[in-house]
Structure 1
Amino acid sequence: MRLGFDWDTTDMSILLHAKLAKPMGTARIIINNLHIKGDLLLMPVLEGRAILYSFVSTPEVRIGVAFGSGGSQSLPATALPGVSSWLVKIFTDTLVKTMVEPRRRCYSLPAVDLRKKAVGGSIYVTVISASKLSRSYLRGNSVRRQQNSSTNGTLEELHIDKDLQTFVEVELEELTRRTDVRLGSSPTWNSTFNMVLHEETGIIRFHLYESTPNSVKYDYLASCEIKMKYVADDSTTFWAIGPDSGVIAKHAVGGTEVEMVIPFEGAQSGELTVRLVLKEWQFSDGSHSLNSYHLSLRQSINGTSTVLARTGRKINITVVEGKDLIAKEKYGKCDPYVKLQYGKALQKTRSTHALNPIWNQKFEFDEIGGDEYLKIKCYNEDTFGDDHIGCARVNMEGLVEGSIWDVWVPLEKVSSGDLRLQIEAVRVDDFDGSSRGSTIGSGSGWIELVLIEAKDLVAADLRGTSDPYVRAQYGNLKKRTKVIYKTLNPQWNQTLEFPDDGSPLVLNVKDHNALLPTSSIGDCVVEYQRLPPNQRSDKWIPLQGVKRGEIHIQITRRVPEIQKKSSLDSEPSLTKAHCISGQMKQMLVKFQSLIEDGNLEELSAALSEIESIEDMQEEYMIQLETEQMLLINKITELGQEVFSSSSLSRISSDN
């Protein structure tokens, strides 16, 4: 069904703060009028339970703008005539990419429960197989297509397809997973992945790559995608572009399986068969919809381990330099940096101001078996959002210990750009023993952890902020920082100490809630075992399990004499114990009084104070354990000295 669409409104006021080229400064642009005119195409699907809609062709767009006061531009508004046409182009390009044929949006017709909003979900994606794969048709090589029209060309094409080795990368938001490499023009994978999304809609992208033996990179062949959307009756709608720009739509209730065969976009042949099962939707009120997905799928998932097996080796990757990177800023400037992802570990270089940057930054990863590859993304750092300037994937198979692999990696999906990497595989036992430190697990020192700050955390509250604090877990010991309220860039500047016994150190960044359970906004593992004694390490660590966020820490492995640790003697133990006990008694009395009065605001503050006192008590117990440990070690050393002295005296008297 076609429908004429003509929408004109002046009842709007959108303020944009634009950064202009020097020396003009900034400008405040106000959008006060929007007019869209075109023909809409409506396509009911799934027996009328949803409608796919799109513009038949690019609609006519007009945008009215004005310039507000408060900007720092040195030119009058009349000297900036191109702003309106620039905004029209951006808006039109967005419409073309999202809802102009054959791109379609989906509208679900069931009534929406405003009290329950889907904010994320978990889905199992199974890449079953592909068919009709051909290098020439996937890459669009016209020369080979002409050769295929002849008999010799057909034989050549059959030979080319026979040794075609491909794999599929599955992408959902920031999460990517890949299948194994399979041979032939109709490969079968049957690989299942557990994927997570953080909205009520999502796009699952499937990228097909060719794996060439002994090659440092993979060749991109084609892509396709499936869109999904939550429906208010706890069901899910899936749709994709079908053959001849048609539509493929499926509706899943509960945990039922949905199997779809979708063609690769922009290719004359080739299609992918996938199976989707929505495990659960998660809602803003904390509830979730558990689905009874099929036993056969559960067995296939349980049969495939999701734990990435480590080989016992370390991979040292040095990002040396780059060349011919794309300039995203005016005047040909660029501030590039590189992100490395290997398995679940993520590392990032510093940014530098050059199109041919030199970093010489070294990163260490635990080697992972199972054909895991290194994913590289290059960005240009910018005040209003970083720009993507290329990516690549590096095959990590075949690394030989003791041999450094020095290679230039070309960046994909851009017109130019290369990165130079040096990659080395090293056995853990091959590291210099001096770098390990001689006291790990010996019980003669402690770990000093300074939690300085975090930046760019995810918003856990509906108001767009968080109340973050950090809980550090070292073996069986847990300690936490204070809560910093209503911020995504908290500063704690707190020092935590743990007896050094070689246990793993895990940091969990959490959002504080007074009455409701706390929610996690990221975690990370701190590597400290190889730090030299008494040398401080300052680092920014990316948070895992979330879209963004980094935490800034300083960590030191202290190996002191008793007299060097003045903090242990700064306050008499008995006085401190009485102080903690008195504070706890006072807070319990205050807490009971607030419960009787029903004062929720003061009750929330009192709970935070009680948690702080509990943390102080835990720190005090750790301090006592450390004092006891150091005292025992000192007594042991004195005993050995006395024994040695008596032995020497006995030998002298015998002589």
Structure 2
Amino acid sequence: MSIGIMDVTLVGARGLKNADFLGKIDPYVLIQYKNQERKSRTGQGSAPVWNEKFRFKVEFPNKGKIEQQKLVLKIMDRDTFTRDDFLGQTTIYLKELFETGMEEGKAELNTQKYRVVSANQTYHGEINVGVTFTAQGETNNEQDFGGWKESTFYISSKISCNISFLVIFQDTEMTTGIMEVTLVGARDLKNTDCFGKIDPYVLVQYKNQEQKSRTVRGHGSHPVLWNEKFRFKVEFPDKGNEQPKLVLKLMDRGIFFAPDGFLGRTTIYLKEMFEIGMEDGKAGINTQKYRVVSANRTYHGEIKVGITFTTKVNQFNPKPPLSNNLNYFNLFKFKHFLFMTMFFDLQEETAD
């Protein structure tokens, strides 16, 4: 799990609905991310200016169900003697921003206008917001098994020592399954060809497995349709601590001897889907649009993908037998150390 900081820049709004029968509205914004909420100062009229920044702590991907990462901005009208009125809200989805930030260290949604949805589900006004996510690293969850680990043992009231020992047994549950990727299409891709149109194809990569879509010739940056499915073998959890992810590299097929050109990539993180699939037998990420990150780390176009994970077999790695020479050797060393420590401790007590 990665942690980071999300900075939200609230610039202003315009064209807000006037909910007051007398006078002007006094709008403020409740900015909500999961269980964190910030409140702006109160502005004036239907075109308030705030120019404020708010900071939120982010843990991504989140544990539990696959919920869409989103920032909700609720615009309220401050009233003196009655309850504050709801003017409308804007929702900004953050998943791709976080994924890019985790990979690149930082990602940004440039300040732009978002339409405000009023209580009757119609658009009324717009709000100007920018969002930046800066990754700060990985959370360290100490493992209680496997490898070497340092502990402190107190043998008696008179002696303490540090011991590094090898854990002899390790229980690991490994789930295998099939991940099916549905590649639907793309649009607004960057045209890297000086002459003519691009001929895009996609390299779909999961760990050391790679599959290639067909090449769509002559479509250029206009909507491209593949409608292809790809299957990958999955073993989860991974022996390492790497985040399982699906990488889609969009390429432009070169002509003659020219190398294929890189159009952009999209990264989809899979850990939460796998965890739910292990528990329920099946899990999926509905077909949706993901923004494409070009070589200069700007968004250019979007790709439409859906993913399904189906559990196949549960395998249990049995405990290694006691006849294992390495286990016997380490067990002997550990017992020998405890015996010698207790012997010297007894000698010390006798001397006293």
TM-score for both structures, normalised by structure 2:
0.43
Structure with max Cα Rg? 1
Compare the two structures and name the one with the higher helix fraction.
Answer: 1
TM-score, normalised relative to structure 1:
0.24
Q: Which has the higher strand share?
A: 2
